Structures are given as structure tokens and as C-alpha cells.
Amino acid sequence: MSKANQNTTTYRNLSKRDVVNVKTKSPNLNFKFLHLMHSKDLEYLHTTQRKHNCGYFTDLEEFIYEFSCFSTLEKAIQEYTSKNGSKISKNKNSYVKNLIKKFKAIDTEDSNKLIGKSNELRELEHMHLKKGGKGAFVIFGITYENSFYVLDMNPEHDFD
């Protein structure tokens, strides 16, 4: 295997048993707010996976791997959203309203950067873990620069 240059990061996909070098400019998923949201986080995902005896973590691992292989954040989001897009009305959806309320309550320097000066949260988006907006497993987040900040994971798509 050839050496990776300074502009790449090496990822190992354990479920597929391969290694890939990804450009550091590739889009990234950022989970820094997930725990602070006190929402559907990794602990919830673990409990739900055990309850339903399914492979949510395997799906998430595969999604993270494939997401990081895209050249831009926009291409990655487009690939994992339904034909109707990834935006959900924050005025009509109670699940989304609750996520926004929780995020605004965090009040850290990083979260305030995502909210902006007008105290209006950047557009909340969601992606399915299967390409083309397929599958029930959905993650919610905010895009900023080349990152998708994950705020919530909903493996059963149980929001209205």
C-alpha cells in the first residue's frame, strides 16, 4: 500500500475490512453536540439496537465511511436525502421545534457560532443513512463550513 500524503486521512472500515485514504477537505460529520443535546444519542442508539436486535451501529459506521468519501458536503447531503430534500419545516414539526429549543439552550461559543448573530438557527437538515433518502434511520444536524454537526439520531424515524 502506498503512503498517504499530508492532505489525506486514513480510515479503516471494519465491517468491509478495507482501508481508504480520504482527502482532508472531504466533508465531515461532527458529533460534538450530540451528548449535550440530551436527545437520541449513542447510548439511546445502543439501547434501541439491543431492543430490536438489529445493526444500527453497523449502518452508522458504513454511513460515516461513505459520507467521508464525497468531495463536498453538498454532494454528500444530496446523496443521502430524499427527492424532496433534507430540510424540515421548523414551524410545523414539533420534533424539530424541540431539537432547536434544546440546541439554543446549550449556549457555548461553538453552538453560538452555529446560531449566528440574529439568534436564528441555521437550517436544520436531516439525512437518511441509506442513499437516496432510504431507510428509517435518520440523523438531524446543522451544516457549517464543511461539517455536518449531528444533533440527533432517530433510528426508527418516529417523528411526525
Task: Give the residue-averaged pLDDT of 52-62.
Answer: 89
Q: What percent of the chain has pLDDT over 70?
A: 74
So where are the chain's domains? 28-154
Q: What is the pLDDT of residues 80-125, one digit of tens each?
A: 988 776 666 666 778 888 888 888 888 777 887 777 665 556 678 8
State the Cα torsion 4-8-12-13 to the nearest 10°.
-130
Q: Are 35 and 108 in contact (CB under 8 A)?
A: no
